[in-house]
């Protein structure tokens, strides 16, 4: 895999290098060539003015780019290809042509053909050499990850118990009891004793979305407003605390006083940590976990649940974990990781060590898991740039 040099007009990338079909033809034995069917993804380094195309952890090819100039800097973060157009014209900059456009944000950031002077010169987009852009366009699909960083990043293989693995149902045991055989003369002597118990592989549930990678994200969530929780619990227990608005007003204090009186506590109407714990215990309140796991398929939310991140006040950084290829019935899948903010928050393994997912949630994730699924773990805000028609977009700068 040679490093590409030169500007537009050079033959940068062969279709055979990127095409999944060509990779499959090159070797049908994926056990000997595990990366051949791994998902494609792109890493862009603004400092190096370079884009690298990977299949899994394997570098396929490299090309020069030109990113945003001063005042129009290209944002860094985790993106997906949202839209593709062979012919496109900018609606922001005088209908400037943007051939082989691959959109990363609805606010105007995209990959497309453009002049490469050897330094950042665009209005925020990532300009590519024509031949490279054309071949890349024919290979990519909507939803494919593009991670943009300042310094160059590389994917690394990672193994951790928190990363989902394919669903593996337990083997069912079918048996014929001795009483059953004795009750049926036709069975006597016809079945060897060793055959009384037979292991039968359980049937895997069919996943109709197996060819559609999931996009998962784990982010910290703000703790609930303690006064709102208190008001809700008091109302549920029959003490009229008024509207659940988070305001410690007259009705809320009166409800606290009534609770204290009924619990043979000093009647003060004031909230203390001890009183809060007592009300929560009596109301059957379970404290929520401190992070959320959300999942999208084809740019739409399909699942959300709570998880725990240990030492939540410490930095997390932004890390993207991607499942490589596997087939229905496989017992395991390999993962790769890309740290989008260098060592901020620690290594990918350090971050995974801080995540706790219940056995129930892990089982649900295993049943949904598909090849090419990604998991982004970040303490950055994502909601502002994530909406209808996007994956989870995380801006790191």
CATH number of 212-221+290-395: 2.40.440
Name the residue among 130, 109, 15 with its Cα closest to residue 64. 130
Q: What is the pLDDT of residue 170?
A: 63
- On the question of pLDDT at 113 being above 50, the answer is yes
Q: Known catalytic residue: 160?
A: no
Q: What is the pLDDT of residue 7?
A: 33
- For the chain, the residue count is 397
- 302, 211, 339, 291 alpha-carbon torsion, rounded to 10°: 20
Q: Rounded mean pLDDT of 211-230?
A: 94
- On the question of pLDDT at 117 being above 60, the answer is yes
- On the question of pLDDT at 11 being above 90, the answer is no
Q: Rounded mean pLDDT of 195-206?
A: 56
49-60 pLDDT, tens per residue? Answer: 999 999 999 999
- Considering the candidates 24, 88, 123, 125, report the single residue annotated as catalytic: 125
Lowest-confidence segment of 60-64, 71-75, 184-188, 252-256 by average pLDDT? 184-188
- On the question of pLDDT at 152 being above 50, the answer is yes
317-368 pLDDT, tens per residue? Answer: 999 999 999 999 899 999 999 999 999 999 999 999 999 999 999 999 999 9
- Tell me the DSSP string of 244-269: SSS---HHHHHHHHHHHHHTT-----
Question: In this structure, which CATH number among 3.80.10.10, 3.30.300.30, 2.40.440.10, 3.40.50.970 belongs to the domain 15-154?
Answer: 2.40.440.10
Question: Does 126 or 188 have the greater pLDDT score?
Answer: 126
Residues whose CB is less than 8 angstroms from the CB of residue 93 and which lie 6 or more positions away in sequence, other chains included: 123
15-32 pLDDT, tens per residue? Answer: 445 544 444 343 334 434
CATH topology match: 15-154 vs 212-221+290-395:
yes
Q: Do 13 and 42 touch, CB atoms closer than 8 A?
A: no
pLDDT band at 379 (very low <50, low <70, confident <90, very high): very high
Domain boundaries, the chain: 15-154, 170-203, 212-221+290-395, 226-282
pTM score above 0.85 = no
- On the question of pLDDT at 221 being above 80, the answer is yes
pLDDT band at 151 (very low <50, low <70, confident <90, very high): very high
Return the H-helix or E-strand segment holding 222: none
Q: What is the pLDDT of residue 93?
A: 55
Beta bridge mates, 182? none
Average pLDDT, the chain: 84
- Considering the candidates 24, 41, 88, 112, report the single residue annotated as catalytic: 112
What is the rounded distance in angstroms from the CA atom of residue 280 to the CA atom of residue 231?
11
Q: What is the pLDDT of residue 172?
A: 43
Q: Do 110 and 122 touch, CB atoms closer than 8 A?
A: no
pLDDT band at 97 (very low <50, low <70, confident <90, very high): confident
Question: Does 97 or 329 have the greater pLDDT score?
Answer: 329
Across the beta sheet with 214-220, the strand order is 156-158, 335-339, 318-323, 374-378, 214-220, 291-297, 300-309, 355-356
Q: Do 272 and 265 touch, CB atoms closer than 8 A?
A: no
Q: Do 127 and 109 touch, CB atoms closer than 8 A?
A: no
Q: What is the pLDDT of residue 385?
A: 86
Three-state DSSP class for residue 83: strand
Say what percent of the chain tops pLDDT 70.
80
Residue 89 DSSP class: B
263-306 pLDDT, tens per residue? Answer: 999 999 999 999 999 999 999 998 899 999 999 999 999 999 99
Q: Known catalytic residue: 125?
A: yes
Three-state DSSP class for residue 10: coil
38-82 pLDDT, tens per residue? Answer: 899 999 999 999 999 999 999 999 999 999 999 999 999 999 999
What is the rounded distance in angstroms from the CA atom of residue 31 to the CA atom of residue 34?
5
- How far is residue 89 CA from its own chain's centroid? 32
Three-state DSSP class for residue 374: strand
């Amino acid at each position: 895999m040679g490093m590409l040099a030169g500007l537009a007009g050079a033959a940068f990338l062969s279709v055979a290098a990127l095409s999944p079909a060509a990779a499959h033809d090159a070797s049908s034995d994926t056990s000997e060539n595990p990366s051949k069917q791994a998902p494609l993804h792109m890493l862009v380094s603004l400092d190096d003015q370079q884009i690298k195309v990977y299949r899994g952890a394997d570098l396929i090819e490299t090309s020069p780019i030109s990113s945003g100039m001063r005042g129009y800097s290209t944002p860094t973060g985790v993106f997906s290809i949202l839209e593709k157009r062979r012919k496109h014209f900018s609606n922001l900059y005088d209908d400037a042509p943007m051939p082989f456009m691959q959109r990363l944000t609805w606010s105007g950031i995209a990959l497309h053909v453009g002049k490469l002077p050897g330094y950042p010169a665009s209005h925020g987009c990532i300009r590519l050499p024509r031949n490279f852009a054309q071949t890349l366009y024919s290979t990519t699909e909507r939803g494919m990850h593009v991670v943009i960083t300042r310094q160059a990043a590389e994917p690394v293989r990672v193994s951790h118990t928190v990363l989902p693995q394919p669903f593996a149902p337990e083997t069912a045991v079918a048996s014929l009891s001795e009483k059953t055989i004795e009750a049926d003369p036709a069975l006597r002597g016809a079945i060897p004793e060793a055959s009384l118990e037979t292991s039968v592989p359980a049937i895997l549930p069919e996943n109709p979305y197996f060819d559609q990678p999931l996009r998962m994200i784990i982010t910290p969530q703000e703790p609930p407003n303690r006064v709102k929780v208190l008001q809700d619990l008091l109302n549920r227990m029959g003490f009229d605390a008024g509207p659940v608005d988070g305001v410690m007003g007259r009705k809320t204090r009166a409800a606290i006083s009534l609770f204290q009186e009924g619990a043979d506590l000093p009647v003060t109407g004031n909230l203390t940590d001890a009183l809060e714990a007592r009300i929560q215990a009596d109301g059957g309140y379970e404290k929520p976990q401190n992070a959320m796991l959300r999942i999208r398929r084809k740019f739409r939310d399909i699942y959300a649940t709570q998880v725990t991140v240990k030492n939540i006040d410490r930095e997390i950084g932004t890390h993207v974990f991607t499942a490589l290829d596997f087939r229905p019935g496989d017992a395991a899948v390999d993962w790769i990781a890309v740290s989008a903010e260098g060592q901020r928050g620690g290594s990918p393994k350090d971050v995974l060590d801080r995540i706790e997912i219940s056995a129930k949630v892990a089982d649900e994730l295993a049943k949904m898991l598909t090849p090419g699924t990604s998991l982004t773990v970040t303490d950055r805000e994502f909601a502002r740039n994530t909406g209808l028609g996007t994956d989870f977009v995380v801006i790191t700068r």
